[in-house]
Amino acid sequence: MAIISNILNVLITILVFFSIIIIHEFGHFFTAKLFGMKIYEFSIGMGPRLFSKTTKTTTWSFKLLPVGGSVQLGEDFESTDPDDFRNKPVWQRMIVIVAGAAMNLLLGFAVCIVSICAGNAIATTKISVLTDDSVSAQVMRVDDEIVEMGGMAIWTTTDISYCLQNRAAEIDEQNGIAYVNTTVLRNGERVQLKVPFRYFPERTETDSQGIKVDFKVYPQEKNFFTVINAAGRLFLSEARLIWISLIDLVTGTYGINDLSGPIGVVSTMATTLGESIQLMSFSSFLMMIALITINLGIFNLLPIPALDGARFVFLLVEAIRRKPIPAEKEGWVHFIGFAALMLLMVVVTFNDIVKLFGQ
């Protein structure tokens, strides 16, 4: 039964993963249709076709490598067909290019709403309980509202967890204490504190490695306005954490071995889904879906050759210059970028396989 359950979890996860890709490509597809552009192919995956079906104007394809998708719109630089992408007004092409990422971001926000609605109440950042053994009670009080930790603005309890694990100002391993610079709202005034927390340098049977949260926060009643507000804060929090991770990757805080490709993502999602089913709470799985689709939206908007962000930059330059970049130059830029991304994907996928079979 456990094997069947694991297989079902993986299949459900793959379906969710492909749905995120389809929604991205649907953004390109829908806006292209809106502007009367010809759509030659709508494909999920990359590489050789596994199967396809051709209608009057479009070929629908499923390809071998599950690492993305594409919508072919007639981007031949020498095309004379007025309905091809290349011959449409530049502002329409700009909208089509960003529509895929926009759909992912909208999906991320929608999943945040569902996650909030699925919970019993909305968690605030205002402290409701400090127990007698709470180390942080040395300086914090009930009704303190946490607004900043480690120099980062606090919007959600997820931000609190992240800051406690990553932004400790000082760690006293000998006494098992970590100090976090924290700003709270106390009686309407901002108060700066150096808050102590219990610190566990190694994982134990009762506590995970890192800082232990020793307080509880007030719940907030759910209604239309509080749900939208909470979902917005959650969405911005997830987007910020993704941006911080990208910066950490560029600056060397994280290495290439810390990256995950499709295999790693599916494996992690399947594990989270299994844990969610056992706990009868799908909040963690929903938040992972939100994280992945927001990540896909943000990553695609980066000005990296072969991604939508770089193509948007070329269109922006075209709009300013009132003439396109020479076709061969733009083509080479995207080709080199695509080759680099494929090489990175091979390396990351290899690492995913090593990690998977090394568990």
Give 102-161 as a DSSP string.
HHHHHHHHHHHHHHHHHSSSEEEEEEEEE-TT-GGGGT--TT-EEEEETTEE--SHHHHH
pLDDT at 155: 95
Domain ends where: 194, 220, 246? 220
Say yes or no: 149 and 107 in one domain: no
Of 118, 112, 191, 91, nearest to 155 by C-alpha is: 112
Same domain, 106 and 148: no
CATH number at residue 201: 2.30.42
Across 48-52, 83-87, 192-196, 249-253, least confident range: 249-253
Same domain, 108 and 146: no
Q: Are residues 103 and 159 in the same domain?
A: no
What's the domain range around 204?
Answer: 133-220
Q: Which of 198, 220, 242 is the last residue of a domain?
A: 220
Whether residue 210 sits in one domain with residue 152: yes
Q: Which of 25, 145, 205, 238 is catalytic?
A: 25
Task: Check whether residue 78 and residue 163 sit in a common domain.
Answer: no
- Give yes or no: residues 109 and 142 share one domain: no
Q: 109 lies in a domain?
A: yes
* 13 and 111 inside one domain: yes
40 belongs to a structural domain: yes
145 and 110, same structural domain? no
Domain count, the chain: 2
CA 146/CA 130 separation, integer angstroms: 14
> Comparing C-alpha atoms, which of 42, 44, 43, 41 is closest to residue 18?
44
Domain annotation covers residue 192: yes
Cα 155 to Cα 152, 295, 342, distances in angstroms:
9, 19, 36
Q: Specify whether 206 is located in the same domain as 153.
A: yes
The answer on 155 and 64 residing in a single domain is no
Q: Is 33 a member of any domain?
A: yes
pLDDT at 203 over 70: no
| Active-site annotation holds for 25 | yes
Contact 96, 28 (CB under 8 A): yes
Last residue of a domain, one of 185, 220, 255: 220
Query: pLDDT tens across 219-246, in order?
Result: 999 999 999 999 999 999 999 988 888 8
Q: State whether 73 and 35 are in the same domain.
A: yes
pLDDT band at 169 (very low <50, low <70, confident <90, very high): confident
Q: What is the pTM of this model?
A: 0.85
Q: Look at residue 232 and tell me if it is in a domain.
A: no
